[in-house]
Structures are given as structure tokens and as C-alpha cells.
Amino acid sequence: MSLDARAFPRRETKAGAAPFAGALARIAPDGRFEGYAALFGRVDLGRDLILPGAFAHSLAERGAGGVRLLFQHDPAEPIGTWLGLHEDSLGLYVKGQLTLDVARAREVLALMRAGAIDGLSIGFRAVEGRTDPRTRVRRLSRIDLWEVSVVTFPMQPDARIAAVKRAGDTLAGAIRRGARRLRALPGRRPVLA
């Protein structure tokens, strides 16, 4: 059975609202999940703006296996592995698998099921970027990605888990619907290259 509109309830959104808010309705025990760890063209709470292509070199060099899946950016809290990471037109899209033999991963899954935690956040080193002296926004054009964490409060508020995979489901259609909703948000700022 595939995900349908009931898994992603329609709701009114404001400009800047999380693209996948309310998406964690039903969760299966296998621990797989997907979402956006970073969105292009959005200024985060640390005044960074990531440009399209910023992850390309790092992903080509490390691959998904070279990027750690942590809880709250704590290197002592690995909770799974990344099955896939890639850039698309919106940002850095991730597919992860919680390791349910690890107690903290089981706790994180329970929190995801309850809707208590759905943030994603990147741990990185800025390789290339420049700061606009007027706005103090740092535009990052190349990032060395080390880890992506499941977090309570992401630095980029729209970086969220889209859904947690249910056994036998496919998320492709649901993710496409979520991406369309994100593009349709009023006041969405265009990506500046």
C-alpha cells in the first residue's frame, strides 16, 4: 500500500512554514525515514544561506556511507546509517535507516511516531562562501558535509523529516506533493545563484 493524502493531512501554511508539518501520522517499526536536511536559498538561524551545488563535491567524495547519522549532533550518539543523500532542486534530500538494535535509535523512533521530534540538521565545514557585509548573510557555495542529525530544533527551521517509512510503502508520490506545496508557499524567496 502506498502513502496517500491521508498520511499528509492538508493544512493551511504560512510563508516559511515547515514543508512537511503534520506528516508523521503513521509510522512502521522498520525505522526508515526521508526528508530534507537543508533547503537551498533559505537563510537559517545562524545567517547561512546554502546555494545549489554546495554539497556536490562532498557527496561525490564521501558518499552516503561517509556521512554519519547522529542524534542532536552528538558524536557519541550514532543512531543509524544514511541509505542515500542527494541534491535536488529544493535542497539536500536524505533517506535514513535507524539502527533499532541501538537503544537511542528506538527512543528516537518512538519520538518520531509521537510527532515530538522531526527536525534535521547538518554538521559541516564551510569550504567556500562569502559573507555579505550589509546583511551579514553567509552564502555557502561549497560545504564539506560530515554528519546529518535528527534534532529537536533545526538551525534551518524547514529542514524536516518528511515521513517515516511504513513497511511496504513508497514515499515518492508523497514527497513530490510536499515539494509542490513548498514551491507554492506564498512569499517563498527565489534561489539566488
Rounded Cα distance, 131 and 146, in Å: 22
What is the CB-side half-sphere exposure of residue 109 using CA atoms within 13 A? 23
Catalytic choice (57, 73, 77, 87) = 73
The question of whether 141 is a catalytic residue gets the answer no
The question of whether 107 is a catalytic residue gets the answer no
The question of whether 86 is a catalytic residue gets the answer no
Residue 186 DSSP code = T
Nearest to 28 by CA among 162, 147, 169: 169
Catalytic choice (57, 77, 107, 147) = 147
Q: How far is CA 84 from CA 7, 72, 94, 114, in A?
A: 23, 20, 6, 25
Rounded Cα distance, 4 and 110, in Å: 22
Give residues with Cβ within 8 angstroms of 184, minimum separation 6.
Answer: none
Phi, psi for 110 (deg, rounded to 5): -60, -40
Catalytic choice (34, 58, 121, 149) = 121
Q: Which residues are catalytic?
A: 73, 121, 147
